Amino acid sequence: MQGRALLLAFMVVSLSLSGCFGESETVSVPEEIEMESPRIFVTDKTGESIGESPMNISFQFSDVGETGKEPSIGITSSGCIFFIAMEKVMRSCDYGESWVESQDPVMCSPTTSDPYGWVDPITDRVFGVQMIGLETSWICWSDDDGETWLGNPHDSGTTPINDHIKLASGPWTTAGYGALGQITGSTIYETAVYYCYNKLAGIFCFTSFDGGASFEAGGQIIGLATTNGGLHGAISTAADGTVYVTPRVETPSVIVSKDNGFTWFDRTMGEDVGTPYPRKNSEISTDTESNAYHVWTGGDEGIYMSRSTDSGETWEQESIRISPVEVISSVFPQTDAGDPGRIAVTYLGSENSEMLNQSDIDGNPWDGNAHYAPNNATYHLYITISLNALDANPTFHTYRVTDDPVQVGSICLNSGDCRDIGGSNRNLLDFNDLHIDREGRVYVAFADGCTGDCATNGNATAADSRDGRGSVYYLADGPSLYADFGELYALL
Rounded CA gap, 321 and 378, in Å?
21
State which H helix or E strand residue 107 sits in. Answer: helix 105-108
Tens of pLDDT, residue by residue, the chain (492 residues): 544 444 444 333 333 333 333 334 444 444 344 444 569 999 999 999 998 999 999 999 999 999 999 999 999 999 999 999 977 889 999 999 999 976 553 456 566 667 899 999 999 999 998 877 666 788 889 999 998 888 887 766 555 556 788 999 999 998 887 666 554 546 789 999 999 988 777 888 999 999 999 987 898 888 887 777 778 899 999 999 999 999 999 999 999 999 999 999 999 999 999 999 998 999 999 999 999 999 999 999 999 999 999 999 999 999 999 999 999 999 999 999 999 999 999 999 999 999 999 999 999 999 999 999 999 999 999 999 999 999 999 999 999 999 999 999 999 998 878 887 778 899 999 999 999 999 999 999 999 999 999 999 989 999 999 999 999 999 999 999 999 999 999 987
Residue pair 42/49 in contact by the 8 Å Cβ criterion: yes
Q: How far apart are CA 382 and CA 432, in angstroms?
A: 12
Sheet holding 202-208, edge to edge: 163-170, 192-199, 202-208, 217-220
CB 339 within 8 A of CB 288: yes
pLDDT at 102: 62
Q: 3-state class of 12 per DSSP?
A: helix
Cβ partners under 8 Å of residue 274, min gap 6: 250, 251, 252, 298, 299
What integer pLDDT is reported at residue 119 of this predicted model? 97
Is the Cβ–Cβ distance between 210 and 195 less than 8 Å?
A: no
Tell me the one-letter amino acid at 393. Answer: N
**Count of other CB atoms within 10 angstroms of residue 34:** 12
Domain assignments of the chain as residue spans, ordered by start: 39-68+277-492
Predicted local distance difference test score (pLDDT) of residue 354: 97
H helices of 209-352, where?
none
